Amino acid sequence: MKTLSDCVTAHIPAMQRRRRDLHHFAESGWVEFRTATLVAEELHRLGYQLALGRAVIDADARMGLPSEAVLAQQEQRALAQGALPQWLPSFSGGFCGIVATLDTGRPGPVMAFRVDMDALDQNESSAADHLPTREGFASCNAGMMHACAHDGHTTIGLTLASVLKEWAHQLSGTIKLIFQPAEEGVRGAKAMVAAGVVDDVDLFTAIHLGTGVPAGEIVCGSDSFLATTKLDVTFTGVGAHAGGNPEQGRNALLAAAQATLALHTLPQHSGGVARVNVGVLQAGTGRNVVPDCALMKVETRGVNNQVNDDIYQQAQRVIAGAAAMYGVDHAITLMGGARSCTPSPAWVAFIHQQAEALGLFRSVVDTKAQAAGSEDATYMMERVQQRGGQASYVIFGCDLAAGHHNARFDFDETVMATAVQTLATLALNQAQFGGAR
């Protein structure tokens, strides 16, 4: 009889082709038009029930959306690169999310797997020794690169869909596969949560490849994420000739400079790690003009939601006060956000046990060290847990050519089969889980 392992192994060549195609046509957050149409087509072909676009993404809860002009232009770009026209209308305008459901007809919990699809806003290395370049699948889109393995995640999600379909007769309950846009900048998950896509989920698992975890190791319940808020701040003052009538100006740059310093005085907190960064400041129009505009790109972080919320609340106060100091207007736009997370112990333990039983890993651990980055699957985990479900975040270690967000990033593709087999195993053995609910 064909084992699960045999089944997954058979997919390996297709997985590589899929991943390399997605890598070549890397698409940044909210403009994953080509990717989304290919994902939809494949899931439809497999017979999943699909919810698309506005049905799974709350328009108003989206953060950090590009301008309409960029969205329209990118949609054209995607079409030219092979986006499937029949699916495109569902995603038009920045709604590139898909939720595929498989109702087994047998009683059981709703089990969800979440992958993300977007690339980073950066150029890929053209060095000859960079494998994607050498093999001809480096990104063809300037300023967009899969340097965080989301091409792998999407491929794993699609392959998992295929494998589970093949083994559907042995599944019970409901399977939900969530394909999320705009994880980079932690912009997309909140809008899917707001659309209710995880409200019925009992067992939730998000995944990531790499992140410093060594090849052969699986982290069953990573809690190493900082809560974070991303905000753009604009100050709008009044320009004036700096030599002739300086008192007629209202100086947006001075407000921004005060705010920048003050924001960086905030993160001392007994609750643990607290962070503020004003990463970008752009202000003024000319050397001899009192600056009438300033833009700050800011983020706050905290070891947990409370710390981050404290810092963010103070940040808002600082920004408003700085504007008041110089009589300038200000606006704060949320550009992204993520929560800290505490994976559900019972579900982590189950994953741990299943991973050990699989025999695919040299090392099975529950958590990894020190928090630093952020991840918006945490919004989904939080919602699932608030509604009584179990949630975890699983990392599959693998060899990397260079670190995440590096222009020479690349990962060892063999990890994808390992991931598919592990996740399929969780679904197939779910009935053994005796966890809460």
Q: Which residue among 132, 173, 185, 397 contacts a copy of itself (CB under 8 A)?
A: 185
Nearer to a copy of itself, 331 or 431 (CB): 331
Q: Which residue among 66, 93, 321, 345 contacts a copy of itself (CB under 8 A)?
A: 321
Do 435 and 248 meet the contact criterion of CB atoms below 8 Å apart? no
Is residue 254 a contact point for a copy of itself (CB under 8 A)? Answer: yes
Is residue 111 a contact point for a copy of itself (CB under 8 A)? Answer: no
Is residue 331 a contact point for a copy of itself (CB under 8 A)? Answer: no
Is residue 142 a contact point for a copy of itself (CB under 8 A)? Answer: no
Is residue 246 a contact point for a copy of itself (CB under 8 A)? Answer: yes
Q: Which residue among 284, 345, 358, 435 contacts a copy of itself (CB under 8 A)?
A: 284
Nearer to a copy of itself, 221 or 302 (CB): 302
Contacting a copy of itself within 332-361 (CB under 8 A): 335
Q: Which residue among 40, 119, 276, 424 contacts a copy of itself (CB under 8 A)?
A: 276
- Segment contacting a copy of itself by CB under 8 A, of 52-60, 158-166, 249-257, 358-366: 249-257
Nearer to a copy of itself, 190 or 230 (CB): 230
Contacting a copy of itself within 361-380 (CB under 8 A): 370, 372-374
- By the criterion CB under 8 A, which residues form the site for a copy of itself? 185, 226, 228, 230, 241-248, 251, 253-254, 256-262, 264-265, 267-271, 274-291, 294, 297-299, 301, 310, 314, 317-318, 320-327, 335, 370, 372-374
